[in-house]
Structure 1
């Protein structure tokens, strides 16, 4: 039986008077890939931003590994291994690939451990090794996404939050990025994946939730949802 790693219970999130999340309840099990699906404005990115400590819910609780993190600070969450790859990659475009990766481990405090972690990224993502001295802004979209994921990996995530990693990428590159995510998960990292590309997400996920208007409308094993006619019509075309 899978141990629950992350729990959200009856979470309400507001931006001023605008309610973004409504009684949101979901679980992520240790070692799982869980996908969050939904249209623009459904509340997917708001969920990840809240989990990263950037916004605090008005009500409800968030528990990670048995600890209440509802009001935790972002830097404390990163230190403890809850790390997000934001939508749009947000790499440092004027810094080299290697410098971007070094920043991913800024809380490590051990130069040898940081170097070993970066070497591991280069081993897993040889394209980044080839471009280690190249400025991030000169990379292709797919390479920038690999760099964003690699930078997060250097921080040694226990729970990796991925926000739209396939956005703007060609189908072949999307496949490569999803394979990278699956390999990271196979190495023991739990992943919460926000995606509009439902077909790609459900292919690698264990379970999935569909969010509409800030609340869960449907959930279940990814393989079952991939065959659900409502999901196919709404998100797969």
Structure 2
């Protein structure tokens, strides 16, 4: 479904991605692990069109989207939820969700998707008239994911959805991601919390300095001594 092949990205003189290749199949959750600066966020940004690669290709569902405009990539169903939530703080929860449907012409379909988001995220339904900036960190993350769902994703690119959240909230976010996936949406998940990510992922990749250094089924990565030492706290 998503095929990234030989991807190179430069920021000036910095070579951020070095021939990176990975795939995400239909119905999969694939975790992308690595230390800060490894190139995880750049990978998602290049896939969604926010960053133009200097080499390689990005193909989504048979469409070459390499360097494509973000709104065109989104319209194909590849939807990016960036790090930091980025909700519109002065807009209400409901208005934030409505903005998720900006590419959808059928307003009845937008309303249906918003209703479904409220079903999945009842806390948002309770706060639909509340300004986004007044929500807790966990609620803002839920809102960011809910807004992406209104867009109508076939695949979600999730960048650090657990960042800054309490453990119980992290568990709720991961449960939500697993539920969305169970309903048919593929996920490429960037996470510093490797334990949480590998707990719901089918497969995973580990990248260092913009290069893939390890990959395999999530269960095998959880038991790999290199992953345990570097990302799972040595336990």
- Identify the match of residue 60 of structure 2 among 64, 68, 71: 64
2:230 is matched with which residue?
A: 234
Cα deviation, residue 79, structure 1: 1.1
The range that moved more, 49-58 or 187-196, is 49-58
- Identify the match of residue 170 of structure 1 among 142, 162, 166: 166
Mapped partners of 1:228, 1:164: distance in 2: 22
- Identify the match of residue 146 of structure 1 among 117, 142, 162: 142
Mapped partners of 2:26, 2:116: distance in 1: 22
The alignment status of 1:88 with 2:98, answered yes or no, reads: no
- Give the number of aligned pairs: 233
Normalising by the residue count of structure 2, what TM-score does the alignment of the two structures yield? 0.98
1:47-126 aligned within 5 A: 47-126=43-122
Q: Determine if contact 2:39/2:209 at 8 Å carries over to the other structure.
A: yes
Mapped partners of 1:99, 1:47: distance in 2: 29
Moved over 3 A (4+): none
Unaligned stretches of 5+ residues in structure 2: none
Normalising by the residue count of structure 1, what TM-score does the alignment of the two structures yield? 0.97
- Identify the match of residue 6 of structure 1 among 2, 18, 26: 2
**Secondary structure of the corresponding residue to residue 107 of structure 1:** coil
Mapped partners of 2:51, 2:163: distance in 1: 23
Mapped partners of 2:193, 2:78: distance in 1: 24
After superposition, the CA RMSD in angstroms is: 0.6
Cα deviation, residue 46, structure 1: 0.3
Deviation readout 1:124-153 (Å, 9 max, x if unpaired) = 110100000000111111000000000000
Mapped partners of 2:51, 2:118: distance in 1: 33
- Identify the match of residue 217 of structure 2 among 198, 217, 221: 221
